Structure 1
Amino acid sequence: MGYIGALDQGTSSTRFIIFSQTGQIVGQEQLEHSQILPKAGWVEHDGSEIWLASQSVITGALKKAGIKGSDLNSIGITNQRETTLIWDRNTGLPLHNAIVWQDTRTAEFLNALSQQVKEKIIYKTGLAIAPYFSAGKVNWLIKNVPAIASAIDEDRALAGTIDSWLLWNLTGGVNGGVHYTDVTNASRTLLMNLESLDWDSELLEIFDVPRQILPAIKSSSQVYGHSDTTGPLLSAVPISGILGDQQAAMVGQTCFELGESKTTYGTGNFALLNTGTEIVRSQHGLLTTLCYKFGEDRARYALEGSVAVTGSAIQWLRDQLGIIASAPQVEQLAKSVSDNGGVYFVPAFSGLFAPHWRSDARGVIVGLSRAATKAHLARAALEAICYQTRDVLDAMSADSEVALTEIRVDGGITANELCMQMQADIMGVEVIRPMIIETTALGAAYAAGLATGFYEDTSELKAKWQEDKRFKPDKASALATTGFKNWKKAIERTLNWLD
């Protein structure tokens, strides 16, 4: 069996990609799903819609590849992290929409925690006290959805991040589905202890989350179960890799060595630095998180800088403002002007993530003059992606005390060559794009294949990585100097907007 599959469930869409043993894509299918926005700051997804989309893309990708489910050696799952769902183990149906990582409804609850409690949470988890993470979402669902409280009382409730929901359904759902998550997803909940790699009793008590509704925590690469033969694969295929999307991109970029890093450009932007088996605690607003754990090997940790809104700012230009008809058009529009015309755009739609961690911030467009056009705004949106990325990479260099000499990038926005050139100019170092930019799905496939012997070891995977293009900084560009200084001023304008 010379193929391996990856189910890549993201913030805006779900994909199934089939790879050959050499890492080439032989078939893929993708479907967008609804963004449910009940109130300002609230973002939800329909878990049933995501599961239906997952079945459709698996079927579609197999058809395009001209193979059957039984031709797959194994499957890996990668997913939007933190997004949280609670469902009924008897009916198999969600008891409420999933609360998405971008959602800010839990800010008040988190702000009310004492400083002593906050410090304890940060030390145990390596994370920040922010609505971004899962624990506050689970707490909100239990307190505000009577059907969930009843299901917990009757031992019918199962909770998890999206990987758990998909794994449970793929392995049979109500007919024996397994309820697991992996260490990378668990490390994003504010409920897992970084040292023990297990749910922490004290954290569960703080957030009032009953342990029995949570999945068992496993490694990122092991056989969790087999697909149900009545499901979309129509055969029992090992499901043997699970990684949160950003950790999957680290694996797909083969960042297995201490000090190696990558930056993924998607709905948000995420930079990770491999710190090896050591837990490095940030002094500059970054997160300490799991990088991966393969089988019985020791866990690898990472520093992470998370930016909430990058690619979704381009979607906003398309869907809310209507100044472009499709996301790729932003490059041509931005190219039609030579600079941003003095316009700066900070897309703090749900607050600012790393390194600021300010949930009171909101988006601003500043520097407008009568001469400003939609092209200047398009250019400002691309620059915002790059400036936010510099903010987190500067913090990463400060924490690691290692100056970045290059940036490995991946994700859909890296196809935008203007944006990648801006990134090189703003950082002053070379930006390197790999041959396969869909490294998130590739990383999930790698994790699955390592567990089944499809891939021998990480050395084999490293040998597969290939460079596509290198963007060299233009030393004459003012983006890194005047531009970055003005960006910092624009950031100040976003703060203290919410009371």
Structure 2
Amino acid sequence: MSDNYVLGIDQSTQGTKALLFNKKGILTARCDLPHKQYVNESGWVSHDGNEIYENVLKLVPLVVKKAGIDKKEIVCMGISNQRETSIAWEKASGKPIAPAIVWQCSRAKDIAEKLEKDGYNLMVREKTGIPLSPYFPASKISWLINNIEGARKKDQEGELGYGTMDSYLIYRLTNGASYKTDYSNASRTQLFNLFSLSWDDVIGKIFGINIRNLAEVCDSNAEFGTTDFNGYLEDKIPILGVMGDSHGALFGQGCHKEGMVKATYGTGSSIMMNIGDKLIHSRHGLVTSLAWGFNGKVKYVLEGNLNYTGAVISWLKDSVGLIESASEVEELALSANPTDRTYLVPAFTGLGAPYWKNDAKAIISGMSRTTGRAEIVKAALDCIAYQITDVIAAMAEDAGVTISGLRVDGGPTRNKYLMQLQSDLTGIPVQAPDLEELSGMGAAYCAGIRYGLYNEKDIFNNINRELFQPSMTLSEKEQKYKGWKEAVSLITRN
């Protein structure tokens, strides 16, 4: 008996996933391929855009085979992507002119710092909801145009495409027929005006970017073109859902109402609150972006971004050798001396929200003679929960609301110690779903709803969630959090 399937492509920092959802929205199969992480002696982080595109082409046959379906049963697809990672490519060939600059990479900090010194920060933040920072694509794209040989000339002649990974993949998958992005990704570039809902010419000029060369901005559930994956499918399917990964997770989590909050635990983290159809500018170090655009209407979000959450666990394994695999972390944290007051502040590439201290350096503080391997691993795990607590506290202040719950997703949410600590520190219930693929699922559900396969009112009822309730005493919570804030102050006070 035939079925209809929606394909989700989740292009993330460490790799790319292909997901197949059946007509009931249930995940049928998943396949993953990693891509190489290029980090040079200056700490610049890059990805090979061509490798990522080739991985997408490889993944589709793999996931079809794993699911045991007829490829003709795939009716549409959605794409979620690592958002601020920026890439430039030749329009004629679709080939990148240089490796993509990953969102973590701060190589463009001189560009952002110069514009801040020139007095542009307030204007840029007012229009885009985002403070000047090398974290965002405007600085990264400017760096590519100014530092890659021949790029400026090609840009002036209209021969370059550039933007976030969604627009690049759409361009490649449609063989150059479609050069589009969605509202969620556009709002993260620092080139998009949240009031006019269009690229901002003035901001483009101060970054040296011709906004007429940027992708067409569309609703997140628009038709972004059609693809057959370089001939793999007999008939092309439409791309009907595109969202930045965190926005896809917000949608997939069912956070469709004002005041609902989710946190994505990945290499870094995005904590996001749906604030409805009215723009709120943060007074506490957060950014304002667009959640998505559906059928001509947009919703806004407050968001805090953290550079190092899950990546701290990778650091423990790959850089300092304290663990052999991430699966060891929970047991070590539970075995640590509960009276130890070691704190790790993971400012390996500066601090993100709500501090925005680009020149901050990571520290370990509060160690005693009895601090050992387990205590340091515990401090690394704890810092994830502390950072997210910082952002949630700032959100409550900005929105003027009492946050009643937190929905979480991502690999680290399988760690029950971390989830319980998150609930204890925030003082609110934490709901962890029984699946990890919320970003790709959100984009796929968006596509399936647009296609008419899914009913929006019913499709989100498939998620089962584990509930963690606060259990720590108020005095213990306050003591722990005070210690964290003191550790952070050691690197932010100057």
Whichever residue aligns with residue 491 of structure 1, its letter is V
In 1, the alpha carbon distance for the partners of 2:414 and 2:454 equals 28
In 2, the alpha carbon distance for the partners of 1:20 and 1:138 equals 38
In 1, the alpha carbon distance for the partners of 2:458 and 2:54 equals 35
Please name the residue that 1:425 is paired with.
Answer: 424
TM-score by length of 1: 0.95
In 1, the alpha carbon distance for the partners of 2:250 and 2:212 equals 31
Note the C-alpha offset of 1:91. 2.3
Please name the residue that 1:255 is paired with.
Answer: 255
3-state SS of paired residue (2:223) = strand
Label 1:187 to 1:340 Cα distance change in 2 as closer, same or farther (>3 A): farther
Please name the residue that 2:463 is paired with.
Answer: 466
CA contact (8 A) 2:49 2:96 kept: yes
Note the C-alpha offset of 1:365. 0.9
Please name the residue that 1:31 is paired with.
Answer: 33
In 1, the alpha carbon distance for the partners of 2:339 and 2:437 equals 30
Please name the residue that 1:76 is paired with.
Answer: 78
Describe how 1:304-453 pairs up with structure 2 within 5 A. Answer: 304-339=303-338, 341-453=340-452
Note the C-alpha offset of 1:496. 6.8
3-state SS of paired residue (1:432) = strand
In 1, the alpha carbon distance for the partners of 2:337 and 2:177 equals 55
Whichever residue aligns with residue 79 of structure 2, its letter is I
CA contact (8 A) 1:426 1:479 kept: no
Deviations 1:40-62 (A, max 9, x none): 34111110111122222222111
In 2, the alpha carbon distance for the partners of 1:438 and 1:332 equals 25
Gaps of 5+ in 1: none
CA contact (8 A) 1:30 1:57 kept: yes
3-state SS of paired residue (2:139) = helix
Please name the residue that 1:3 is paired with.
Answer: 5
In 2, the alpha carbon distance for the partners of 1:56 and 1:477 equals 52
In 2, the alpha carbon distance for the partners of 1:264 and 1:66 equals 31
Describe how 1:258-269 pairs up with structure 2 within 5 A. Answer: 258-269=258-269
Count of residue correspondences: 491
Q: Does 1:484 align with 2:481?
A: yes
Equivalent of residue 152 in structure 1, options 155, 161, 165: 155
Gaps of 5+ in 2: none
CA contact (8 A) 1:253 1:465 kept: no
Please name the residue that 1:230 is paired with.
Answer: 230
Note the C-alpha offset of 1:299. 0.4
Task: Tell which deviates more after alignment, 32-41 or 416-425.
Answer: 32-41
Whichever residue aligns with residue 227 of structure 2, its letter is S
In 1, the alpha carbon distance for the partners of 2:257 and 2:191 equals 27
In 2, the alpha carbon distance for the partners of 1:43 and 1:105 equals 9
In 2, the alpha carbon distance for the partners of 1:492 and 1:122 equals 25
In 1, the alpha carbon distance for the partners of 2:365 and 2:230 equals 55
Note the C-alpha offset of 1:228. 3.0
In 1, the alpha carbon distance for the partners of 2:183 and 2:429 equals 32
In 1, the alpha carbon distance for the partners of 2:56 and 2:339 equals 40
Please name the residue that 1:96 is paired with.
Answer: 98
3-state SS of paired residue (1:140) = helix
Whichever residue aligns with residue 112 of structure 1, its letter is K
In 2, the alpha carbon distance for the partners of 1:340 and 1:371 equals 10
3-state SS of paired residue (1:224) = coil
3-state SS of paired residue (2:222) = strand
In 2, the alpha carbon distance for the partners of 1:242 and 1:474 equals 39
Deviations 1:266-304 (A, max 9, x none): 1112111111111111111111100011133x1011111
CA contact (8 A) 2:252 2:438 kept: yes
Q: Identical aligned pairs, as a percentage?
A: 38
CA contact (8 A) 1:269 1:308 kept: yes
3-state SS of paired residue (2:122) = helix
CA contact (8 A) 1:3 1:73 kept: yes
In 1, the alpha carbon distance for the partners of 2:476 and 2:379 equals 11
In 2, the alpha carbon distance for the partners of 1:202 and 1:232 equals 43
Please name the residue that 1:121 is paired with.
Answer: 124
Please name the residue that 2:164 is paired with.
Answer: 161
Note the C-alpha offset of 1:23. 2.6
Label 1:69 to 1:295 Cα distance change in 2 as closer, same or farther (>3 A): farther
Whichever residue aligns with residue 495 of structure 1, its letter is T
Please name the residue that 2:191 is paired with.
Answer: 191
Note the C-alpha offset of 1:100. 0.9
Label 1:137 to 1:229 Cα distance change in 2 as closer, same or farther (>3 A): closer
Task: Tell which deviates more after alignment, 356-365 or 19-28.
Answer: 19-28
Please name the residue that 1:202 is paired with.
Answer: 202
Whichever residue aligns with residue 61 of structure 1, its letter is V
Whichever residue aligns with residue 493 of structure 1, its letter is L
CA contact (8 A) 2:78 2:446 kept: yes
In 2, the alpha carbon distance for the partners of 1:150 and 1:276 equals 42
In 1, the alpha carbon distance for the partners of 2:195 and 2:339 equals 46
Please name the residue that 1:59 is paired with.
Answer: 61
In 1, the alpha carbon distance for the partners of 2:324 and 2:248 equals 31
In 2, the alpha carbon distance for the partners of 1:157 and 1:80 equals 21
In 2, the alpha carbon distance for the partners of 1:130 and 1:304 equals 15
TM-score by length of 2: 0.96
CA contact (8 A) 1:220 1:242 kept: yes
Label 1:232 to 1:385 Cα distance change in 2 as closer, same or farther (>3 A): farther
Q: Does 1:130 align with 2:128?
A: no
Deviations 1:56-112 (A, max 9, x none): 222211110112432112110000011110011222211001011111112222112
Label 1:467 to 1:402 Cα distance change in 2 as closer, same or farther (>3 A): farther
Deviations 1:322-360 (A, max 9, x none): 211222221122222243722110111111111111101
Superposition CA RMSD, Å: 1.7
Note the C-alpha offset of 1:229. 5.7
In 1, the alpha carbon distance for the partners of 2:18 and 2:235 equals 16
In 1, the alpha carbon distance for the partners of 2:213 and 2:50 equals 19
Please name the residue that 2:241 is paired with.
Answer: 241
CA contact (8 A) 2:57 2:230 kept: no
Task: Tell which deviates more after alignment, 226-235 or 408-417.
Answer: 226-235
Note the C-alpha offset of 1:422. 0.9
Note the C-alpha offset of 1:468. 2.3
In 2, the alpha carbon distance for the partners of 1:40 and 1:340 equals 38
Note the C-alpha offset of 1:473. 1.4
Q: Does 1:171 align with 2:174?
A: yes
Task: Tell which deviates more after alignment, 144-153 or 319-328.
Answer: 144-153
In 1, the alpha carbon distance for the partners of 2:111 and 2:242 equals 30
3-state SS of paired residue (1:28) = strand
Whichever residue aligns with residue 42 of structure 2, its letter is A
